[in-house]
């Protein structure tokens, strides 16, 4: 049987820090980020691609605020769905062009993905994920009372809306995605962590006004479609201890137990490497065999065991 892999493209794979983030730049970055995917396809892997959408969601929410007086505002779940489609198109086209140059002729498609969450998830009751534009302190009371938003100060830069970030529990479209992959189709799914939803008592699906961590969702997706490997593409070449200090130690290989111990010791912060380590451990405990964490530039070598950090049970 062919090996199956989920490739989780980080935010820097599409919109990079210190760039304006216009569409031309996003297409160029996306093309560069797909070299590792083409290499996987050459090796005969069955591939599912996920991706981040943080900068794009932020821009979309700014557009909502700026046009609120002209058109009805869009809720966060619909914005995530819109971006799954738009960014999926961009990744599809870039991959089709890269495959053309590599002499590969494989079908690729995007699936809008609903991610099941627990409607009683603690993060829904106590939202903490910053989204959207900054507001002034004198606007907070009105935003809270009229829109029902939860507002918090973001490191002295201003006030922002915070939303929930529930734990992903399952994939609504898992059977469709698995079927497509089994037929040799490259699938782009779970964009931006997917659209958070839960089941009502009557069996209906209902959306949650929140965002899901892309790497945690990628791990769940990988387990539910029977993937053996998970490649997390991020902004660093390797996982490291004491990151950014003179005592930094890069880690070419980790076991899940070692990774959890370092996580508990505070080595992997919540806002950066922490969720990636949690995703890696979840994927392995759910039946996965190997997780690779590395940068865009090092991904092709990391797949061959020459770079990056490999995490195994």
Q: Which residues are catalytic?
A: 11-12, 129, 214, 276
| C-alpha neighbours within 13 Å on the C-beta side of residue 172 | 20
Helix (H, G, I), strand (E, B) or coil at 98: helix
**How far does CA 33 lie from the centroid of its chain?**
14
Cα–Cα distance for residue pair 277/266, rounded to 1 Å: 12
**Under a CB-based contact definition with an 8 Å cutoff, are residues 198 and 116 in contact?**
yes
Cα–Cα distance for residue pair 110/85, rounded to 1 Å: 7
**Under a CB-based contact definition with an 8 Å cutoff, are residues 205 and 114 in contact?**
yes
Rounded CA Rg of the chain: 19
């Amino acid at each position: 049987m062919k090996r199956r892999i989920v490739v989780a493209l980080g935010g820097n794979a599409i919109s990079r820090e210190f760039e304006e983030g216009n569409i031309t730049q996003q297409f160029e970055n996306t093309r560069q980020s797909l070299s590792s995917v083409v290499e996987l396809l050459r090796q005969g892997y069955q591939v599912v691609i996920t991706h981040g959408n943080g900068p794009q969601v932020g821009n979309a929410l700014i557009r909502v605020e700026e046009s609120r007086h002209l058109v009805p505002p869009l809720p966060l779940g619909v914005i995530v769905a819109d971006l799954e489609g738009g960014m999926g198109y961009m990744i599809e086209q870039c991959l089709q062009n890269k495959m053309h140059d590599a002499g590969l002729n494989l079908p690729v498609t995007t699936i809008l993905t609903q991610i099941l969450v627990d409607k009683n998830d603690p993060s829904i009751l106590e939202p903490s994920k910053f989204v959207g534009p900054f507001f002034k302190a004198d606007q907070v009371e009105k935003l809270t009372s009229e829109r029902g938003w939860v507002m918090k100060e973001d490191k002295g830069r201003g006030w922002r809306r915070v939303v929930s970030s529930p734990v992903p529990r399952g994939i609504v479209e898992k059977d469709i995605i698995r079927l497509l992959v089994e037929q040799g189709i490259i699938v782009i799914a779970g964009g931006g962590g997917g659209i958070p939803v839960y089941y009502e008592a009557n069996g209906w699906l209902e959306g949650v006004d929140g965002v899901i961590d892309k790497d945690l969702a990628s791990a769940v997706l990988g387990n539910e479609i029977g993937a053996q490997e998970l490649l997390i593409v991020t902004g660093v070449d390797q996982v490291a201890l004491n990151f950014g200090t003179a005592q930094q130690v890069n880690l070419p290989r980790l076991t899940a137990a070692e990774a959890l111990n370092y996580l508990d010791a505070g080595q992997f912060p919540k806002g950066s490497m922490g969720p990636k380590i949690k995703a890696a451990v979840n994927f392995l405990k759910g039946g996965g065999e190997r997780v690779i964490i590395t940068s865009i530039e090092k991904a092709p070598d990391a797949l061959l065991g020459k770079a990056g950090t490999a995490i195994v049970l």
